[in-house]
């Protein structure tokens, strides 16, 4: 009897959690999440991810006659030559600008090294390091919010991806992009510059680009921001969401009690792979 009661308790708890998560993942919705303090378990998981050895990420470089961008690449543990695999492009924040090809290896890159992710999600993960800012901001006079725009270093990465995808066993219909802070802004720049390239995007605490917003209505976009963010105001991303929510595939998580540098939680890290891996360019869902 006790085992049966435990079974039903576990079943209904899972059902409730699934229902809550599904609602938070519904396009056109903005979910406000009250999260005054991360649990010890969540903080421990993020700390663990930060400590992971990233030697499995091999070093590489994109370059042309003028500029170069270093990168690190994680390949699936086992590659079948007859199969194609997803590619996740991860953009870093401004604190990782440089040329050492290590500073960009933060939580969003290293999370793919977790054993459960390595086994369940055989993906390529590409993490470039920009030697200068990959995204710059200006005031959008019409919207009265900050807008972002990219420079030549992002252009180099995007222009290099077509050959890179052909060279590796990468599925053209499952190329994803995500980033935090300046990397979130660069994510917005990337999908604006190449809306044809990506199957889905995750913009965390970035600043949006607006000039081709109507071309992005069919692209699944997940935006995440903290209400208390004073480094990149939430207003830009909220404006972007507001302009797409009625006719786009966009959703927004607003953490009511989070600042800029504590936005990456275990909940977010757990949900990102689940959400991304369901997206396919030829099946907009």
Query: pLDDT, tens digit, for every residue of 2-13?
Result: 454 454 444 443
What's 250's domain CATH number?
3.40.50.1820
Query: Range of 185's domain?
Result: 29-276
Counted domains in the chain = 1
Residue 2 located in a structural domain: no
pLDDT score for 34: 84
Residue 282 located in a structural domain: no
Residue 40 located in a structural domain: yes
pLDDT score for 157: 98
pLDDT tens sequence across 200-230: 999 999 999 999 999 999 999 999 999 999 9
What H or E segment, with its residue span, contains residue 95? none
pLDDT tens sequence across 62-111: 999 999 999 999 999 999 999 999 999 999 999 999 999 999 999 999 99
SS3 120: helix
Q: What are phi and psi of 39, to 5 degrees?
A: -70, 160
pLDDT score for 13: 39
pLDDT at residue 17 above 50?
no
Residue 14 located in a structural domain: no
Residue 6 located in a structural domain: no
pLDDT tens sequence across 32-42: 998 666 788 88
Residue 204 located in a structural domain: yes
pLDDT at residue 282 above 90?
no
- What share of the chain has pLDDT > 70, as a percent? 89
pLDDT at residue 132 above 50?
yes
Whole-angstrom CA distances from 187 to 39, 87, 144, 172 are 29, 14, 21, 18
């Amino acid at each position: 009897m006790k085992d049966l009661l435990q079974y039903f308790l576990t079943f209904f708890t899972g059902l409730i959690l699934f229902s809550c998560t599904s609602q938070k993942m519904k396009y056109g919705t903005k979910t406000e999440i009250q999260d005054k303090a991360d649990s010890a378990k969540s903080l421990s998981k993020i700390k663990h991810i930060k400590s992971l050895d990233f030697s499995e990420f091999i070093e590489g470089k994109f370059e042309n006659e003028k500029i170069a961008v270093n990168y690190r690449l994680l390949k699936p543990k086992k590659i079948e030559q007859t199969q194609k695999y997803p590619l996740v492009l991860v953009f870093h924040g401004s604190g990782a600008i440089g040329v050492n090809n290590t500073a960009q290896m933060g939580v969003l890159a290293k999370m793919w090294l977790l054993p459960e992710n390595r086994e369940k999600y055989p993906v390529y993960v590409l993490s470039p390091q920009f030697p200068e800012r990959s995204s710059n901001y200006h005031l959008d006079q019409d919207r009265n919010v900050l807008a972002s725009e990219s420079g030549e270093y992002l252009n180099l990465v995007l222009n290099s991806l077509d050959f890179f995808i052909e060279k590796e066993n990468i599925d053209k219909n499952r190329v994803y992009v995500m980033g935090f802070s300046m990397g979130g802004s660069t994510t917005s720049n990337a999908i604006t510059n190449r809306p044809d390239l990506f199957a889905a995007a995750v913009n965390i605490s970035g600043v949006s680009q607006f000039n081709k917003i109507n071309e992005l209505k069919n692209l699944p976009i997940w935006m995440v921001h903290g209400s208390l963010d004073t480094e990149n105001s939430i207003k830009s991303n909220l404006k972007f969401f507001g302009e797409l929510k009625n006719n786009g595939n966009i959703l927004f998580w607003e953490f009511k009690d989070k600042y800029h540098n504590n936005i990456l939680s275990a909940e977010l890290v757990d949900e990102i792979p689940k959400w991304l891996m369901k997206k396919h360019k030829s099946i907009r869902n």
